[in-house]
Amino acid sequence: MPAMQTKAYKGIGMEGRIAKWYAANTRKDLHEVTALAHRLAGGLAPGSEVLEVAPGPGYCAIELARAGNVRVTGLDISATFVDLARKNAAAAGVEVDFQHGNAAHMPFASGAFDAIVCRAAFKNFSEPVLALKEMCRVLKTGAKALILDMRGDAPNEALDAEVAKLNLSAVNSFITKWTFRLMLVRRAYTRAEFVDFIRQTEFTSSDIRETPIGLEISLVK
């Protein structure tokens, strides 16, 4: 695999109505997001600087700001998502610094963050190795990045079971299954691909765990 793999974005751009549709449907069940936010907050010291890469509508970043005494920043390439996330944070009464930018070219100083989380987004990055290198760069020495995403070899049965948990309407369920099967899983990376990507960075250690449809990747600088 080339050292600096890139790929064009082949999915539906998350702007405008598509982004708003996604935000409305993912808002309906935030149990997993809330659990993740509390899990992350529990491992952070008060005052920690946390970056969520590609926060979308901002639900996880907002819950993280609620859950712990930490400062949260979000970076997303979608201008629509940044706008939605800022409005959602204001409505929730929490302070999160949502910024517009590219994960492969982050507008942050080296060693700026105590932790990074990237949830359900890495498969869409056009420059995956550069994105990982940037995560490593902006982390403090010894700090951790956590990536959670779909895996490229996820079976259809597991994908359908995951959609069923969302309690969507019949129409939205069909659209979501179609999106999972025909777009998202085809964009996703396998464990072997992540191993190759990580080898090209300066992360000192990694742990990759499989879930029914995804990967949970822990990286330490």
| Cβ-based neighbours of 53, under 8 Å, separated by 6 or more | 75, 103, 116, 117, 118, 121, 131, 135
For residues 189-194, average pLDDT: 94
Considering only residues 131 and 165, tell me which one the structure prediction assigns the higher pLDDT: 131
| Cβ-based neighbours of 183, under 8 Å, separated by 6 or more | 10, 11, 12
Tokens 């190759």: give the residue: 196
Span 70-105, pLDDT tens digits: 999 999 998 889 999 999 999 999 999 999 999 999
Residue 215: predicted pLDDT: 96
Residue 155: predicted pLDDT: 72
pLDDT at 48 > cutoff 80: yes
Q: What is the DSSP letter of 123?
A: G
The answer to whether 26 and 62 are in contact (CB under 8 A) is: no
Residue 208: predicted pLDDT: 97
Alpha helices in the chain (DSSP H): 16-26, 31-42, 59-67, 79-92, 128-138, 156-164, 170-179, 185-187, 191-199
Considering only residues 136 and 67, tell me which one the structure prediction assigns the higher pLDDT: 136
For residue 129 the two structure tokens come to: 């190795």
Q: Which phi and psi (to 5°) does residue 157 adopt? A: -60, -40
In this structure, the dihedral spanned by the alpha carbons of residues 14, 19, 25 and 29, taken in order and rounded to 10 degrees, is 80
Report which listed range, 29-43, 117-131, 170-184, 194-208, is most confident. 194-208
pTM for the model: 0.82
What is the rounded average pLDDT for all residues in the chain? 85
For residues 194-198, average pLDDT: 97
pLDDT at 8 > cutoff 60: no
Three-state secondary structure call for residue 60: helix
